[in-house]
Structure 1
Amino acid sequence: MKRTSFTDEHIIGILAEHEAGVQCADLCRKHGMSEGTFYNWKARFGGMTVSEAKRLKTLEDENARLKKLLAEQMPDLAAMKDLVSKNGRARREARSGRIPSGRSRSVGAAGLPDCRSGSQDGPLPVSTRAGNGTARAVA
């Protein structure tokens, strides 16, 4: 059998012929299609008019476009959720004063604990200069 593509209008016309009383085998022979194809069409387009078939096609195209957009946005959404959950966990841990497992306290450029990390060691000793140039610690 040769392979031809049928428009929705043509398919609905063939189904209308069948509803008018023409046998399935005769229709399949006349139009060069298999009975399986005919019954697939009947399941999909049975009882539809041409305008309903066009509307169905429009809706299917729009649905496919929306599914594609959703599939493109899902990885971005998952990454954002992951980032927000990590940031939220880090904030909770900073407020509670816990060191997250597998991490050490953040250290500033001078090798001292970063003041934003919520250090619980207390204030650092403040040194003052005496008049002779020596430094002493004040407790």
Structure 2
Amino acid sequence: MKGKKHTPEQVIAKLAEGDRMLNEGKTVGEVARTFGITETTWHRWKNTYGGMKGPDMKRLKELEAENRKLKIMVAELSLDKAMLKELAIGNF
């Protein structure tokens, strides 16, 4: 069964609400059940998005987009380099 995908904004909102619930005395298990996730997912979210706020999330998205572009550029340049090596050797 495939779980539903949460956006980073939704995760940050749920973490804030969950922290409030934990401060009221609820357990991690109760908080996780409230959001329909497992405790493992809760801890993974805390590790990934724990201290983030709105501007931090925007910056993270920008960095991820830039990283994607750079990876594509590296792949294209590596392909160009391999083609030029083949041409230089004469195996075409």
Q: Give TM-score, length-normalised by structure 2.
A: 0.73
Q: Quote the residue 1:47 is aligned against.
A: 51
Indicate whether 1:15 and 2:19 are aligned.
no
Runs of 4+ residues over 3 Å off in structure 1: 81-84
Task: Give the drift of 1:42.
Answer: 0.9
Q: Quote the residue 1:24 is aligned against.
A: 28
Find the aligned partners of 1:35 and 1:44 in 2 and give their Cα distance.
14
Task: Give the drift of 1:54.
Answer: 2.1
Give the share of equivalent positions with the same residue, in percent. Answer: 39
Give the AA of the match of 1:46: G
Count of residues in Structure 1 that have an aligned counterpart in Structure 2: 86
Larger RCO (alpha carbons 8 Å, 6+ apart): 2
Q: Quote the residue 1:73 is aligned against.
A: 77
**Pair 45,23 (structure 1): closer, same or farther in 2 beyond 3 Å:** same
Following superposition of structure 1 onto structure 2, how do residues 1-139 of structure 1 map, counting pairs within 5 Å? 3-20=3-20, 21=23, 22-81=26-85, 83=87
Give the AA of the match of 2:77: Q
Q: Deviations over 1:76-125 (max 9, x none)?
A: 123335655x5xxxxxxxxxxxxxxxxxxxxxxxxxxxxxxxxxxxxxxx
Flag the structure with higher helix content. Answer: 2
Find the aligned partners of 1:71 and 1:59 in 2 and give their Cα distance.
18
Alpha-carbon RMSD: 2.5
Give the AA of the match of 1:63: N
Structure 2, unmatched stretches of 5+, are none
Structure 1, unmatched stretches of 5+, are 87-139
Flag the structure with higher strand content. Answer: 1
Task: Give the drift of 1:43.
Answer: 1.0
